[in-house]
Structure 1
Amino acid sequence: MKEIVLFGEYLLRLTPPGNKKIMQAENLEMHWAGSEANIAVSLATFKKSTRYITSLPKNDIAEAGIAQLHRYGVPTTIIEKEKGRQGIYYYESGIGARSGKVTYDREYSSFSLLEENDIDWDEIFNDAEWFHWSGITPALNENLAKICLKALKIAKEKGITISADFNFRSTLWQYGKQSHEIMPELLEYCNVVLADVDAAKLYFNIKPEENNLVESTCSLLKEKLPNTKYIAMTMRYQQNSSNEYVGYLWYDNAIVASSKYKIDNIAERIGAGDAFMAGLIYGLQEKQPLHEVIEFATACGVMKHFVTGDMNIASKEEIELIMQQKGSGRIIR
């Protein structure tokens, strides 16, 4: 079976327990994270053949992280670095009106020290049919932007399907280049993108119609990205204390929308986009009808709201149950 290859930084997440703020915490819970790693775990759980490419230092902490990936059946290609450290981020969980807060501590990580010739993309792509990356990686430094471009060129030459998540992070992009200077060129190689309105405006300087955000954003993006075949988006609508969550998939000048899900009592919002992306890749690779693709992807995103940690470890059967029950959460007996 051909592989889905994913490339990105693998991070250790440290979180105060019990919705505490870091200033209150006497200990921190460990979780493993990273957008592409999260997607790889979901796809492996769906029985898809994956390979995760990253760089880590040679130490016990990194070994623990690799073991977590292997636990979920994700094969890895690790570029080990003698120098550098494990990238970390701290997360204060949001609750009620209090927003969640991310603090990155990833400077001088092994991944950030990768150089253009450290990865043999020709060899890695020999067994690949799909390549996924996100806007987080080229945001870290110019070398990683160049590595992404090299990978994309080789993937395109080999006829590999390429997907990306726009994933703009406002606290990154600190190396003298702005996102709109880098991302458009990289996204031109993509067949499938997961976009969001704000990042689309920033990357491409587009002005969608406020009363028709999804359709107009997708149409304007298609003009900027002629090679892109599928554009996906999720929208979260606030209704009093509840969230309404909907997925959209644009193809051939038409949009397919998912069912609407009401989301209350959220356990964790982190990773919902990655869960959605995994469902999208799964459905498209399985060549499902587009209405089934967007229903499955959206149900993956819904499920992640009720799974603690960054990774959506729900099985395909659990996702399908959400679709059948329309998110009611009835007990299985």
Structure 2
Amino acid sequence: MDASKIRGGTLNERRTGPVVCFGEMLLRLSPQGQIPLAQAGSVAIDVGGAEANVAAALASLGVPTRMMSVVPDNPLGRKAIAAMGAAGSDTRFIVKAPAKTPGRIGLYFFEPPAGPIAGRVTYDREGSSFALADPAALPFAEALDGASLLHMSGITPALGPDGVALARAAVGAARAADVPICFDGNYRANLWDAWDSDPRAILTELMSEATLMIGNHRDISLLLGTTFSGDGPDRRREASEAAFEAFPKLRLIASTARHVETAGTHRIAARIDLRESHWQTDEVRIENIVDRIGTGDAYAAGMLRSWLAGGSAQEMAKSGLALAALKHGVPGDMVLVTEDDLLAFDPAAGDVRR
């Protein structure tokens, strides 16, 4: 296939326009001290959301980003906007829904793992301002003007028929503006199961327009209706080759493989598949995990930071893995580090840098 005819240019092309991240912004509420939610008397509040996490991480690394979302015009919505602005992202395209209209900001509660007890997420996001937004009222064309990339995920269409309409509008606007799309599968079974949905058909439709995919063999199995194994590099390559065959516009698949030893110790490897080649890192062992929520978004941001700079598959995998590893030591959804922090990442380091 002629790479020059595929949206997004060549792999080693440097891209300087902003990355537009489109998706729902959430507030995360977490009990302190590993107290179960049902017994908690107080919670910490953090701003998050898959696409917002990517926008914030990229902005902290010096990559221009524009966050596009809808929040209520109330103190909680303003808190979400302020957090993105503090991270360095352009917030002009976060629409404030009028106070008189239905809607609220989506919430989720996170109970961190404690000993043998696994972590748990409880969503409270139905009827949010984002989920109820009218696609025609959103400034897609303005946000995508001069952009290098649209980053979105499968969480938006999982919100219901209105979420599907929002995702389709974003994809259509990117196609009209000739802006490449990065689509992160981010499959959320609980959201899809809450309504009469057909996730395979909807996600396949959206993925057909993507240049970059973030997802593993399980995501590809869902899209193609065929079971692929993740046991070893050869099996993962088989899944990627099937995805490239099914989606002609797709040029890159980024994924990670995680092995959980205990709640506080994981081993992670990163992988980049191109049509003609692939690269996989060695595993990094991460101990004393503070917070694993948002690590996939950190990997996406680290990988995209290198893709935007025209990096190789090896550079993209290493950059993504480094930022994902760093996120495990940061509480909350977002990881904000400098370029120097990322370049200095050493999986064996534990002492103070002076």
Q: 3-state SS of the aligned residue for 2:190? A: coil
Equivalent residue pairs, number: 331
AA aligned to 1:203 is L
Q: 3-state SS of the aligned residue for 1:128? A: coil
TM-score (norm 1): 0.95
Equivalent residues of 1:19, 1:94 under 8 A apart = yes
AA aligned to 1:72 is A
Is 2:21 the counterpart of 1:2?
no
- How far did residue 3 of structure 1 move? 1.4
Is 2:233 the counterpart of 1:207?
no
Gap change, CA 1:73 and 1:211, over 3 Å in 2 = closer
Is 2:167 the counterpart of 1:152?
no
Equivalent residues of 1:259, 1:295 under 8 A apart = no
Whole-angstrom distance in 1 between the partners of 2:181 and 2:135: 19
Whole-angstrom distance in 2 between the partners of 1:285 and 1:4: 9
Counterpart of 1:223 in structure 2 is: 245
Whole-angstrom distance in 2 between the partners of 1:267 and 1:275: 15
Counterpart of 1:184 in structure 2 is: 204
Gap change, CA 1:24 and 1:169, over 3 Å in 2 = same
Superposed structure 1 runs of 4+ greater than 4 Å apart: none
Equivalent residues of 2:286, 2:347 under 8 A apart = no
Gap change, CA 1:239 and 1:79, over 3 Å in 2 = closer
Whole-angstrom distance in 2 between the partners of 1:205 and 1:328: 42
Whole-angstrom distance in 2 between the partners of 1:73 and 1:243: 30
Q: 1:244 aligns with which of 267, 278, 283?
A: 267
AA aligned to 1:223 is E
- How far did residue 254 of structure 1 move? 1.9
TM-score (norm 2): 0.89
Is there any run of 5+ residues in structure 2 with no aligned partner, and where?
Answer: 1-15
1:50-99 deviations in Å (ceiling 9; x for gaps): 10011111111211221111111111112222321111101101133221
Q: 3-state SS of the aligned residue for 2:268? A: strand
Counterpart of 1:86 in structure 2 is: 105
Is 2:74 the counterpart of 1:59?
yes
Whole-angstrom distance in 1 between the partners of 2:348 and 2:199: 36
- How far did residue 226 of structure 1 move? 1.8
- How far did residue 16 of structure 1 move? 0.2
AA aligned to 2:187 is F
Counterpart of 1:329 in structure 2 is: 350
Is 2:316 the counterpart of 1:293?
yes
Q: 3-state SS of the aligned residue for 1:273? A: helix
- How far did residue 215 of structure 1 move? 1.4
Of residues 252-261 and 282-291 in structure 1, the stretch that sits farther from structure 2 once superposed is 252-261
Is there any run of 5+ residues in structure 1 with no aligned partner, and where?
Answer: none
Q: 3-state SS of the aligned residue for 2:293? A: coil
- How far did residue 21 of structure 1 move? 0.7
- How far did residue 210 of structure 1 move? 5.3
1:152-200 deviations in Å (ceiling 9; x for gaps): 1221232212101100011101231121120000011111111123232
- How far did residue 239 of structure 1 move? 4.5
Higher relative contact order (CA 8 A, sep 6+): 2
Is 2:287 the counterpart of 1:268?
no
Whole-angstrom distance in 2 between the partners of 1:288 and 1:47: 16
1:181-228 deviations in Å (ceiling 9; x for gaps): 200000111111111232322232122245443212212221222211
Whole-angstrom distance in 1 between the partners of 2:164 and 2:191: 13
Gap change, CA 1:331 and 1:110, over 3 Å in 2 = same
AA aligned to 1:275 is A
Whole-angstrom distance in 1 between the partners of 2:196 and 2:254: 30
Whole-angstrom distance in 2 between the partners of 1:15 and 1:328: 29
Q: 3-state SS of the aligned residue for 1:23? A: helix
1:135-174 alignment to 2 at 5 Å? 135-173=154-192, 174=194
AA aligned to 2:329 is F
Gap change, CA 1:260 and 1:67, over 3 Å in 2 = same
Counterpart of 1:117 in structure 2 is: 136
AA aligned to 1:42 is A
- How far did residue 123 of structure 1 move? 2.2
AA aligned to 2:28 is R
- How far did residue 118 of structure 1 move? 1.6
Whole-angstrom distance in 1 between the partners of 2:325 and 2:241: 26
Gap change, CA 1:210 and 1:75, over 3 Å in 2 = closer
Whole-angstrom distance in 2 between the partners of 1:16 and 1:57: 24
AA aligned to 2:351 is R
Equivalent residues of 2:217, 2:229 under 8 A apart = no
